[in-house]
Amino acid sequence: MGRTPSNRPTLARVAERAGVSVSTASLAFSGSGPITPETRDKVFAAATDLGYTGPNPLGRQLRRGRSGIVGVVIGDHPGRAFRDPVAVQVLDGLVDVLGTEGLGVLLIPGVDLGEDTVDPLLETAAMDVAVLVWGVLTDDPTLAALQRRSVPVVVGEGRAVEGSPLVELEDRAGAAEAVRHLVGLGHTRIAEISLPFGRGERSGPVDAERLACADRTPTAHRMAGIRDVVDPVITWETPASLVEHGRDAATEILGTWVPADERPTAIVAHSDLLAAGAVIAARELGLRIPEDVSVAGFDGLDLPWLSPDVLTSVHQPLRDKGMKLGQAAIDLIAGREPTSVSLPVGLVPGTTTGPAPAR
C-alpha cells in the first residue's frame, strides 16, 4: 500500500504558495540576508494561510553546530536526588536561567557504575556544555568522558578544572562558624556526621586513615572547617544526604550503650537532612533538644515537618547557586569568558542548639 502524502505544512509548500524559492523563504524566517520587506511579508502571509510556524529550531541549531542542550550531571540516582531539597532548589535556579535562553536540559546520573564506567549519555548524547553540579573527583571518569568529547564543563563545588568556570561555596568558613557557635555555648564533646567521601557508599565511624580519603569537595571543605575549631570526638560517614542516614548515624553516636559522661553534647552535620535525622534519633532515644544534645546543620532548608524544632543551620544560597551555574553554561555556549564565583554562607541559629548540659 502506498503512503498517503502528509498534509503537514513545510517550508517548501510555503515557498510555493508565496511564489518564491525555498532559500528565499528560509531567509524570511531567519531574519537575515538580502530580502525585501514585501517579499518577507508575502512569505509570512503564505505561512499563516498554511499554518506553518517556522523551521525546526533543533535543525537550525544543529546546522550551527549546536544542540541547544545542556547536560546536567546530578551526581546521584534521580530518585534519590529529587528527595533532597538542596538538589531540587539548585536545579530550579539552573533550569530557570537556561530557559530564558531557550536551552533544554538533559539530566544525567553521575553514579559510579564500577570499573570507571559512566552513564552512556555522557558518551553519546548531544550537548553544548555539561554542568557537574556536585563537582568532580580525583581521576573522575565522568569528567574524562566529557573531555574526550571536548564538551565544555562548568564545575559546581568541586576542585578546579583548567579552562572551566567554578561555582563554589565558602563552606569551610561556614562549617567553622557553626562549630564556633557550639563552642561558645560551652560544648567540648562535639560529634560530626559527614557527607559521603567519594565513590561507593559507606556508613560507619571514620579513623585517621579514612579521613585522608575524603575526595568530594563539600565533604573535605566542611570537615576542614570543623577541624579549624575543634577535633570531633567522633566522625560518622554516611552514604548519602538523607534523613534516614542522619538518624542511623546519630543513633550510634548517642546510643544508650554510650556512657553518659562520654556522650557528645553536640552534633554538627554536613547537611540539614542529616541534621534533621540526628534530631529525630535524639528524640527517639529520649534526649531533649537542645537541653541534652545540640544539633547544627548546613544548607538553610525550611523543614516544617521537624516542628517544633527549627534547625540551627549554615544557610547557603541554593537557588542563586543554580542560577550562577546556568549563567556560566550560557557564557561558555556564547563564547564569552565565564568567571568563577565563590558564594558566601552564614549561620542562622534556631532552636536545636543551646548551652552544653552540666555534668
Q: What topology does CATH give the domain 171-316?
A: Rossmann fold (3.40.50)
**In the chain, where does the domain assigned CATH 3.40.50.2300 lie?**
69-169+318-343, 171-316
Q: Residue 2 has what pLDDT?
A: 41
Q: Residue 83 has what pLDDT?
A: 76
Within 8 A by CB and 6+ apart from 265, the residues are 187, 188, 189, 190, 292, 293, 294, 356, 357
Q: What is the pLDDT of residues 77-126, one digit of tens each?
A: 666 667 788 988 999 999 999 988 888 898 888 765 555 677 888 888 88
What the block records as the C-alpha cell of 160 is 578546579
Within 8 A by CB and 6+ apart from 189, the residues are 233, 262, 263, 264, 265, 266
Q: Residue 58 has what pLDDT?
A: 46
Among the listed residues 246, 255, 265, 125, the one whose alpha carbon sits nearest the alpha carbon of residue 194: 246
CA distance 31 to 141: 43
DSSP structural state of residue 335: T
Q: Residue 112 has what pLDDT?
A: 56
Q: Residue 1 has what pLDDT?
A: 39
Q: Residue 300 has what pLDDT?
A: 96
Low-confidence stretches of the chain (pLDDT < 50) are: 1-5, 58-59, 62-63
Residue 231's alpha-carbon distances to 171, 174, 212, 224, 255, in angstroms, are 17, 16, 15, 10, 21
Among the listed residues 287, 267, 271, 261, the one whose alpha carbon sits nearest the alpha carbon of residue 85: 271
Partner residues linked to 129 by β-bridges: 70
Architecture (CATH level 2) of domain 69-169+318-343: 3-Layer(aba) Sandwich (3.40)
pTM, two decimal places: 0.81
Within 8 A by CB and 6+ apart from 31, the residues are none
SS3 category, 303: coil
Q: Residue 328 has what pLDDT?
A: 95
Q: What is the pLDDT of residues 257-283, one digit of tens each?
A: 788 788 999 999 999 999 999 999 999
Residue 347's alpha-carbon distances to 104, 140, 168, 180, 322, in angstroms, are 35, 32, 17, 10, 20
Helices (H) and strands (E) in the chain, counts: 14, 13
